[in-house]
Amino acid sequence: MIAAKDKITPAQLTILVIQAQIGVSILFLPSSVESIAGNDAWISVILAGITSLLLIVIIWGLSRRFPALTLFEYLPMLLGKVLGKIVHVVYASMFILECSFLLVEFGDVMRDWVFSNTPGWVILSLMLLTSLYMIRENIRLIARFFVLTFGLIFVLILIATYAYRDADLMYILPINQVSLPGVFKAMMQSMDSLYGFEILFFCYPYVQGKSKGILKATIFGNIFSTLVYTFMVFTCLIVFSPEELKVIPQPVLYMVKTLSFTIFERADLYFLTIWTLVVITSVMAYLFMSAKTVSALFGKKQHAGTAPYVALVILCISLYPHDQDMINKMKYIVGILTGVSLIALPLILLCISYLRKIKGKEQAEA
Amino acid sequence: MSRIWFWAVFAVGVLLLCGCWDQQLMKNERNVSIGGIDQGSNGMIRATVSIRDISVTESGTKDTSEVHSVLARSTQHAREKIDEEISGSYSAAKLRVLLISEEFVKNQDMMPYLDVYYRDPKSPLSARIAVTKGKAEDMIAHKKIGSKTIGLYIDDLLNSLEKSTTIPRVNIQTLHPLDRGFDFSLPYLIDHNGKPTVSGIALFKGVQMTATLDQDDSKLYLLLSNLQSKKTLLTLRVDNPQKSNGYDYVSIEIKSLKRKLKVTVSDDQQIKVKLQLKLRVSVVEDPSNHLYSMSVLHNLEKILAEELTDDSKEIVQKMQRAGHDGFGIARRLMSFHPKLWKQINWSEEYPKIPFDTSVSLQIVNTGITE
């Protein structure tokens, strides 16, 4: 039974999902998608949004059958003890690697754009310590912090909108220049940025209200993040020519760098400052999920004790890659792990749950 | 208790860490306000910079500039060499204007020398860029014009001309040369009696300068490219045989502008361009006509429209001869006719495209007299 004071509202869930989804890739997505899908990159992002919608429905369908439990409490019920533990380890490594990868990319941007001489471990440990401080608390406090910083996403959008001054709509024409497989491949690429909705696994029992309301809240969050990503990709596509996007890894920053307002210059620094907060919410979400998963693996009820160790592991992993080659390799590994644990596994679990008619006990309405 | 200690140590640590590694103090930096690139000997470049110093004394602030010139292999190399010459560390972050000599942009590709500007996060991408007739070094050697240092002077000069639609709004960022489907043009500076003056614009074909336009033509060129800025004034000649010379000119201010650019491709792959400019103007100076009569007004409209059409046709021809695609015809072909674009040789095709250029004009306002 979860106490009423630990519960969150569906609106808070929406923002939790948005903040977990929108993170580093707001800078990276435009050029990485463009390199595959060309002018049609924005279509791929929308398609990825629709795909993640389906995944959300799967996760929701699974959680609905165990309304009082989180994923790791019903894993052994579905898969048995040994297989359950193996899958559990897969999830734990996925969350830890995903969180590390987030920090690797963050550290990269910080090194290239602002702090060229500051050692990476200083920046990353500051990020992790701040996140650690937050995520030792329960989900309700985290949700409140996310709501508090939610408005900053709009500031990012506002700064980016200013770049429409130099926009030329003709850059996105001709539409459908790239073949369908290209668009599909780019869609898989942009899926990486939309992960974060899996926080539903952990929140489901804590959300007030009926399961339909929970689904609605999550879907709404997903639509919002998809729109933000699409907007960013679209803006970059019409501001930069295709050739330019190939050589600029963080087009959004490049775009705002030239904006010069009457009183201040280098809008990219302001953008980065706000972006750091947007990233830290993602780091918090992933660190929270990693800590929860690991503590469940060791059979602990509270995650506060395990969190520092998990953070240390994440720090070590994120300091390891130091060239583009290794980052690409890490990205590849993370891609496979997330694909397995967020696309394949939930579907399999849902099938098992339906076929073997395993269900959790109905939760008494509080 | 131990937790409080932990966070206290953490907080003190964070405070002490500020600026440990990436700290740049203004007092140690020497800020370049204007830079210039000239052709040097043996494939080297001659780079000239003016460093602006502000000294505050009891009688107020005083601007001084210090000019350095080096022969270098590349832009970054030049920076290092200048850094050796000057006291304090070199910083290009506050660069306002980059000058490039005509000789340089006519003979070689300037883009390799701009690469460092695109790569460095601290680089001044919003710095203006201009072409100088003669050497950029000589222009910067002026040091001071009136009470303004040369960098500030040229920056303000370009800024005010941008506002009056005489030169295009360009900076290092908008110059980024990759496959945009249109060619850029840059302000063209000359040295007029010891003062830098803008004589018009320099037209580029790709990265090479091929022609220039004078101030009158460049205004019309910008209108035809739909790049109108805050204010545009045109002074045109209207022959008036009965009266003395003072009555020959009419000044108009462009109130609003509508440009139509249509690129059509016929079935036999012939590219045609239709360029229409519709202007709504107000008369600000017209000594010979009294515009209370509608027939006089319409007559004036007709004369002005014809003159502008003729001028526009000349400009378009000049652009085509120079291979300068300032209107972005190539971009339109890429976007709307991608198949054709892949087949044609653009630099051969462009000068042959027939342009149908016309300007129409409507007077909406005549000031407080008619």
SS3 B277: strand
Query: What local confidence, expressed as pLDDT, does residue B23 receive?
Result: 78
| Rounded CA separation B117/B121 (Å) | 8
CB A28 within 8 A of CB A249: yes
Of the pLDDT bands very low, low, confident and very high (cuts 50, 70, 90), residue A119 is: confident
Q: What is the mean pLDDT of chain B?
A: 85
Q: Average pLDDT of B214-229?
A: 88
Q: Does B133 touch chain A (CB under 8 A)?
A: no
Q: Average pLDDT of B136-150?
A: 86
Q: What are phi and psi of B208, to 5 degrees?
A: -110, 135
Q: pLDDT digits over B61-95, tens only?
A: 777 788 899 999 988 999 999 988 888 888 888 88
Query: What local confidence, expressed as pLDDT, does residue A288 receive?
Result: 92
Does the pLDDT value for residue B127 go beyond 80? yes
Q: Alpha-carbon torsion A170, A174, A179, A183, what sign? A: positive
Predicted ipTM of the assembly: 0.78
Q: pLDDT digits over B158-206, tens only?
A: 999 988 888 988 888 777 666 667 888 999 999 888 888 999 999 988 8
Query: What local confidence, expressed as pLDDT, does residue A181 receive?
Result: 82
Q: pLDDT digits over A322-342, tens only?
A: 788 888 899 889 988 988 888
| Rounded CA separation A128/A288 (Å) | 11
CATH class of B232-370: alpha beta
Query: What local confidence, expressed as pLDDT, does residue A73 receive?
Result: 83
- Lookup result for tokens 């699409």: A230
| Rounded CA separation B226/B80 (Å) | 41
Q: pLDDT digits over A42-89, tens only?
A: 888 999 999 999 999 999 988 888 888 888 888 888 888 888 889 899
| Rounded CA separation A301/A222 (Å) | 29
Q: Of chain B residues 160-219, which have a CB less than 8 A from chain A?
A: 171, 173-174, 176, 178-181
| Rounded CA separation B286/B366 (Å) | 9
CA B215 to chain centre: 12
Q: What is the Cα Rg of chain B in Å?
A: 26
Which residues is B188 bridged to in the sheet? Answer: B131, B200
Count Cβ–Cβ pairs < 8 Å, chain A vs chain B: 57
Q: Does B125 touch chain A (CB under 8 A)?
A: yes
Which of B257, B256, B252, B260 is CA-nearest to residue B304? B252
Query: What local confidence, expressed as pLDDT, does residue A315 receive?
Result: 93
Query: What local confidence, expressed as pLDDT, does residue A177 receive?
Result: 67
Of the pLDDT bands very low, low, confident and very high (cuts 50, 70, 90), residue A364 is: very low
Query: What local confidence, expressed as pLDDT, does residue A221 receive?
Result: 93
Distance to chain B for A230, nearest Cα, Å: 21
Residues with Cβ < 8 Å from B331, sequence gap 6 or more? Answer: A168, A170, A171, B180, B181, B182
Q: pLDDT digits over A5-20, tens only?
A: 778 899 999 999 999 9
Q: Does A145 touch chain B (CB under 8 A)?
A: no
Of the pLDDT bands very low, low, confident and very high (cuts 50, 70, 90), residue A243 is: confident
Distance to chain B for A115, nearest Cα, Å: 6
Name the helix (H) or strand (E) containing B291. none
| Rounded CA separation A311/A132 (Å) | 7
Q: Which of B14, B173, B336 sits opposite A173 (nearest CB)?
A: B336
Intra-chain end-to-end CA distance of chain A, in Å: 9
Give the number of residues written for chain B.
Answer: 370
Centre a 10 Å sphere on the Cβ of residue B6 and count the other Cβ atoms it contains. 10
Q: Please state whether beta strands B185-192 and B128-132 pair in parallel, antiparallel, or not at all (unpaired).
A: parallel
Q: Average pLDDT of A145-174?
A: 83
Q: Does A130 touch chain B (CB under 8 A)?
A: no
Which residues is B211 bridged to in the sheet? Answer: B203
Per the model's pLDDT, the better-predicted residue between B243 and A112 turns out to be A112
Q: pLDDT digits over A203-228, tens only?
A: 888 888 888 889 999 999 999 999 99
Q: pLDDT digits over A245-275, tens only?
A: 778 888 888 888 777 666 777 788 888 899 9
Distance to chain A for B114, nearest Cα, Å: 15
Does the pLDDT value for residue A1 go beyond 60? no
Q: Which of A116, A171, A260 sits opposite B22 (nearest CB)?
A: A116
Q: Which of B121, B126, B181 sits opposite A258 (nearest CB)?
A: B126
Q: Average pLDDT of B310-321?
A: 91
Query: What local confidence, expressed as pLDDT, does residue A339 receive?
Result: 87
Q: Does A167 touch chain B (CB under 8 A)?
A: no
Domain locations in chain A as residue ranges: 4-355
Q: Which of A116, A129, A241 sits opposite B180 (nearest CB)?
A: A241
The token duo for B271 is 């590219």
| Rounded CA separation B203/B207 (Å) | 10
Does B10 sit within 8 Å of A168, measured CB to CB?
no
* pTM of the shown model: 0.85
Does B178 sit within 8 Å of A243, measured CB to CB?
yes
Does B10 sit within 8 Å of A129, measured CB to CB?
yes
Query: What local confidence, expressed as pLDDT, does residue A362 receive?
Result: 54
Query: What local confidence, expressed as pLDDT, does residue A282 receive?
Result: 92
Domain A4-355 sits in CATH 3.90.650.10 = no
Q: What are phi and psi of A289, to 5 degrees?
A: -65, -40
Of the pLDDT bands very low, low, confident and very high (cuts 50, 70, 90), residue A229 is: very high
Of the pLDDT bands very low, low, confident and very high (cuts 50, 70, 90), residue A176 is: low
Query: What local confidence, expressed as pLDDT, does residue B178 receive?
Result: 61
Of the pLDDT bands very low, low, confident and very high (cuts 50, 70, 90), residue A365 is: very low
Q: Average pLDDT of B246-251?
A: 80
Per the model's pLDDT, the better-predicted residue between B22 and B107 turns out to be B107
Does A258 sit within 8 Å of B171, measured CB to CB?
yes
Which of B116, B127, B136, B135 is CA-nearest to residue B36? B136
Q: Percent of chain B beyond pLDDT 90?
A: 15
Angle at A258 between CA B131 and CA B82, to 5 degrees: 55
Query: A330: which DSSP letter?
Result: H
| Rounded CA separation B77/B91 (Å) | 14
Which of A218, A222, A203 is CA-nearest to residue A67? A203
Centre a 10 Å sphere on the Cβ of residue B177 and count the other Cβ atoms it contains. 18
Query: What local confidence, expressed as pLDDT, does residue A366 receive?
Result: 37
